Amino acid sequence: MVAAMRIEDCMCEVTLGSEPRTITVRVPIAIPSNICHVELAHRLLQHHNIPINLHSELSDKLQAFIQDKTEEHYRQQDKNAIQSLRDGKVSIKEIASAWTRKYSQVSKQQEDEGCENEMFATMYHSLVHSPTAVNLLGIEHSYAGAMSSLVAQREAAVEEMMDRQKEEVNKALDDVGVHLTDADVTNLSQRHTRDSELMEEQWSSTISVVKEEQKKEFKNFVMESFAGKEVTTPVTPKDFIVTGTDAVIVEANEPMLEESFTIHLGAQMKQMHNLRLLSADALQLCKYASHEVSDIPPQRIQTSMSLYSHNLNGLVLLVDYRVSTYSGIKQEFGRVCRRSTELHFPDLEEQLESIRNLVPHVVQWRTEHPPPKYDTDEGSQAPPPVPDHLKAGDFYITRHSNLADVHVVFHMIVDDTLRSGDINSRHPVILGLRNVLKIACLGDITTLTIPLLLTNSVSEEMTMSWCQKRAELVYKCIKGFMMETTSWGGAEMKNMQFLVPKGISEDLFQHLAAMLPNIFRVSNPLVVKSS
């Protein structure tokens, strides 16, 4: 592989490929540059008829060139500025005044953005409780249908490519030693990887463009409708409408086992709470049953009307310590979120990126503030070392407006210690649930769903006695936490939902349901017979 790059009046020269066949591209690039290297590489490939398999190589070299020359440009600017200061060409007072003006502008801009978001929330809440709600919800639902169709097309295209590539690899392996060598198979695999990455980039770009268009149109519709202007209802671009049966995305929701109770808790001023036990997949609460354009689900109406209210819905989702959407239930949750555009909050990936940036600060704080040593039968022991990631009992929060029955998700970190049947009320995850309830009360979350058995699925160790013991522990702890909420302030926890994994037996479900009223002491009416 031969690669040469040099700058001559902002000219970038890139040599691609390997001897004896190489391709040299020379293109002007403004430094500093805000251009996307991936998009520039794609345009150069089309303009110069360069083979598509060189896209990744060209993109990487363009990125390296732009980054190096941009850094060099700013370094030179810094040197010139420092030299001017040393030579007395610039006044320190002028610099200080310039920084003061800039800081004031940035502060005012942040203030304006905060006010703008607050104004948008006020306008949306007002419109969704007015006759305009029909058009508003119709737009949201049509956007969701278009996005679901796009996501379905991407998944189908990726699956088709994977099947085709698998067939090509199997055929190549059969021909090794006959017409092909091991090097040929390696080159084929590398080409497949590049093709897959390019397809993902193309689909991500397409979906990103549609999302931005939907967000912009929706925001304009809300603001103009609130101002009383005649507004044309936005229509999904024809390029992104799928005709026929593909336009209807149906999520098959299986019937759920459920039991509901009403209780009164409190020492003096008793408060009424609704308790519900249900057997279902946690993500089932997040999915819409259908994205058919002609049928707006009732969940969308309810979720939208309570979006900017004091009655929010929360869900505790059990995850591992990695803040991502790459595997397990986190991957499935990410797919559910991508089924429709997030019109009110940052996308899930943006929220997770912000959380990932905070994790090192959490680790640093814990390192600087270790817990005290504790005494055991063997003497005084130091606390365990601080992990470089989130640990069991920690949780991070994401906000959503595009899920069926959920506004806020508490991503609770769990580990393998929960498989044991010997955990107690001091377990980190149990204490984490107490913190979840506190945040929920302070954040106007009045309906909260938590996993009763602290697991997402049924496993071998979950015998009848194991499940009853775990349920009793969680029931009693949650009861105690709910009684504490009166001293925390904030919203009253009106509805508490206990979720058990889908697939448990009906007999076990009835046992868990029978435990609930005994532990929470369900209030029954007093019947007085007159003589």
* pLDDT of res. 525: 57
Q: Is the confidence at residue 270, as pLDDT, over 80?
A: no
- Report which of 295, 302, 299, 305 is spatially closest to residue 130, judged by C-alpha positions: 305
List CB contacts of 409: < 8 A, sequence separation 6 or more. Answer: 314, 315, 317, 333, 397, 398, 400
Q: What confidence tens digit (pLDDT) does each residue in 60-112 have?
A: 888 888 888 888 888 888 888 888 878 877 777 777 778 788 877 776 666 65
Is 174's pLDDT higher than 50?
yes
pLDDT at 308 over 70: yes
Residue 244 pLDDT level (bands cut at 50, 70, 90): very low
Look over the chain and give the mean of its residue pLDDT values, rounded to a whole number.
Answer: 83
Looking at 154-158, 200-204, 312-316, which range is the least confident one?
A: 200-204
Amino acid 42: pLDDT:
81
pLDDT average, residue stretch 192-197: 88
Inform me whether the pLDDT recorded for 245 exceeds 60: no
pLDDT tier, 286 (very low <50, low <70, confident <90, very high otherwise): very high
Task: Say what the pLDDT of residue 5 is.
Answer: 37
Examine the pLDDT at 278 and tell me if it is beyond 90. yes
Question: Tell me, what's the pLDDT at 448?
Answer: 96
Alpha carbon distance 302, 356 (integer Å):
32
**What integer pLDDT is reported at residue 91 of this predicted model?**
76
Percent of the chain scoring above 70 in pLDDT:
85
User: 347-403: per-residue pLDDT in tens?
Assistant: 999 999 999 999 999 999 998 888 876 655 666 677 778 888 999 999 999 999 999
What are the residues facing 381 on neighbouring strands?
Answer: 374
Can you tell me the distance from the alpha carbon of 188 to that of 176, in angstroms, rounded to the nearest whole number?
A: 12
Task: Please state which of the ranges 64-68, 121-125, 493-497 shows the lowest mean pLDDT.
Answer: 64-68
Residue 182 has what pLDDT? 85
> Homologous superfamily of 257-370+385-520 in CATH?
Leucine Aminopeptidase, subunit E, domain 1 (3.40.220.10)
Evaluate the CA torsion angle 466, 470, 475, 476 in order and state its sign. Answer: positive
First-last CA distance in the chain: 102
Q: How far lies 5's CA from each of 188, 360, 505, in Å?
A: 28, 37, 66
What is the predicted pLDDT for the residue at 230?
Answer: 65
Q: Answer whether residue 239 shows pLDDT above 60.
A: no
Task: Identify the pLDDT of residue 3.
Answer: 37
**pLDDT value of residue 249:** 42
Residue 318, CA distances (Å) to 19, 282, 481, 505 in order: 53, 9, 19, 22
Domain boundaries, the chain: 11-86, 129-247, 257-370+385-520
pTM for the model: 0.73
